[in-house]
Structure 1
């Protein structure tokens, strides 16, 4: 049976699922839903996900639409018996610890998005990132730096899909122009290991480069729409 994967390559939640599929070599059919053309709002996709969000997967009669729930399911089902079967922990206690960190990363991801401020920029209500929120983002960097100081990956010394989630969370801050990684040598070491994954170029590097280019254009357009009377 082939898993249907509905995605857009520039969506970080999609890329998380994409990396799980690649790592576990899951038979799948990748179905592009072009958000730039608003295809996620069309009736055909609403039948897959009424919330009109990406990603989504269909595996037989099961449809899932939340990236981390999808990652848990795919890892648990398709990781069995494979050398990377611990992409999601099997032990109940380990699962609880993992889930706690996974949910914390959701909060951290939104801290990064709040800093980027994309909706306000796009609507012409702001001319750039929320610079006063940068310390909160740097606190996230410091938190993750401490984690990988004493271990190879975000959850112990082997790869898990928490690494996939974190690489996209941390990538958000770069979109806002942050490039000073000198205080985070362990994150650089961790990132270097991920860059060696055979699917990193496809699932992370190319989408990230596209997002960064688009966001810089986004900033220019937002600044052009911004007026001194606009509310941030």
Structure 2
């Protein structure tokens, strides 16, 4: 069954695409044009009632929210492709822990920083505050990554890959790569996960965003 992924041009759906490529799952994409209001169209709202992307259709099964989707496919195809959940229940717990950290601690300041820089003047006071929040999070990452190669241990997991889309903004068009490079272990971690063939494939297929 081919998985249908809605909204590939946005950042969050790229978490899903990265995961599907890592797991070797066949998919096709459906563009959702926000400027035309397609995310609020009645047919799309049947799949995603909040009108955001991504959503996936897998046969008769529909799922939305990118982190829920990648957890689902990592479990469904656990024995296929890269194991992104860990081999023990303890490792799985750490993966889930760092996925939550990404969602609750890392994503809010980097998302707000992107919006304030892209749609406002260069580093206005509000953007400066978000940058400072992000720096504090990255300092914690630096300490944790000094003890292990990846966030959940010595294996790459969903927790690492979930950071790719918005960190790519940071080091790409936003020109804030120094926030990563100023931290030795964060920098090495970023180089590792962003050089994975799966992520390079995502950037190759949807190059314009970054």
Q: Which residue of 1 aligns with 2:155?
A: 158
Give the match for residue 149 of structure 1: 146
Moved over 4 A (4+): 204-207
Aligned to 1:21: 20
Please report how far the alpha carbon of residue 172 of structure 1 lies from its aligned counterpart in structure 2 after TM superposition.
Answer: 4.3
Matches for 1:108-187 after TM superposition, within 5 Å: 108-118=106-116, 122=119, 127-129=121-123, 130-174=127-171, 175-180=173-178, 181-187=180-186
Q: Deviations over 1:190-219 (max 9, x none)?
A: 222223322322324775x6345xxxxxxx
Match of residue 230 from structure 1: none
Gaps of 5+ in 2: none
The reply on whether 1:74 has 2:73 as its aligned counterpart is yes
Greater Cα offset, 20-29 or 191-200: 191-200
Q: Offset of 1:91 from its aligned partner? A: 3.7
Give unmatched runs, 5+ long, in structure 1: 213-232
Alignment correspondent of 2:94: 97
Q: Partner residue of 1:7?
A: 7
Q: Specify the structure having the higher radius of gyration (Cα).
A: 1
In the alignment, the residues of structure 2 paired with residue 55 and residue 154 of structure 1 have an alpha-carbon distance, to the nearest angstrom, of 25
Compute the TM-score of the two structures, normalised by the length of structure 1: 0.76
User: In the alignment, is the contact (CA less than 8 A) between 1:117 and 1:128 conserved in 2?
Assistant: no
Any conservation in 2 of the 1:4–1:59 contact (CA below 8 Å)? yes
Q: 1:15 deviation in Å?
A: 0.7
Structure with more relative contact order (C-alpha pairs < 8 Å, separation 6 or more): 1
User: Aligned residues, how many?
Assistant: 204
Aligned equivalents of 1:158 and 1:102: distance in 2? 14
Which TM-score applies when normalising by structure 2? 0.83
Structure 1 window deviating more from structure 2 (162-171 vs 175-184): it is 175-184
